[in-house]
Copies of this chain bind each other. A is one copy, B any other.
Amino acid sequence: MPVGKRLRRDDFAELAGPGADVLPAHWRACSRRSLVRGESLCTAGESFRTLHVVSSGALKCFVVSPNGAVQVTGFQIAGDIVGLDGIGTGLHQSGTVALLDAEVFVLPFVQCELWSQASAYGQHLLMRTMAVETIRSQRHMLALGTMRADQRMASFLLDFSRRYERLGLSYSRFVLGMPRQDIGSYLGLTLETVSRLLSRLQREGMLQVQGRSIDLLDFPALRRLSGELTQRRCTALDSIVDGMGRLAVSPR
């Protein structure tokens, strides 16, 4: 049960995850909180006091538009950090719920701030953690804005593959902790499209899917699909970007 992998506090010393940076200096003091499947860690609008680093299980984070549309903004597994969006306004902008039974480390934000003030290193790490989050969302925007459905799906699977590998788990066989609807929301697709895509990729031999269990079979093909080729609105292979950020197709 890969997703359920539980981290001991000491694991974070070697862990490369986004939350790992900010945790070490706190782990002595920090408490934990258990969540059962479906339990909410925080909801949008709620006042922000603590950051959380996932110890085990899986969470999803989502924003809700005024009219009720839901967009899943990310999935968090062991080592990932949750709650950075609350720093800006003092209110959580997004909700977070447990997809599976989960456990999180609790980091009171005032302590993070104190720590960050006390050491230049701590400050740097905290900022870096936030900036990494920005980079992650930029990548996701790129996926949502420029990729076709199958490419998004391939990127999504490869992303999870890498993250599981980072936790010392199999990068080719894993269990997605979330239903099709959540994957769809995250990728800007409907659940039907997600289901169809997984079936198609299976038919084409790139992976094996059994409910939420995934077995990635053809990494080169998945990588090719996810990015190297056939990007929407980018037909020329030898195209470059000029100073204006325009695609400049080189002759020859």
Q: A interface vs B, CB < 8 Å?
A: 38-40, 60, 62-73, 84-89, 93-95, 97, 113, 116-117, 120, 123-124, 126-128, 130-135, 137-142, 144-147, 181-182, 185-188, 190, 227-229, 231-234, 236, 239-241, 243-247
A134 touches which of B68, B133, B185, B241 (Cβ 8 Å):
B133
A97 touches which of B73, B185, B229, B243 (Cβ 8 Å):
B243
Whole-angstrom distance between the Cβ of A35 and the nearest chain B Cβ: 11
A138 touches which of B93, B97, B187, B244 (Cβ 8 Å):
B93
**A141 touching B139 by the CB < 8 A rule?**
no
**A117 touching B123 by the CB < 8 A rule?**
yes
**B138 touching A70 by the CB < 8 A rule?**
no
Given contacts A88-B135, A188-B146, contact A141 B243 (CB under 8 A): no
Q: Looking at A93, A97, A188, which has the most chain B CB atoms within 10 Å of its CB?
A: A188
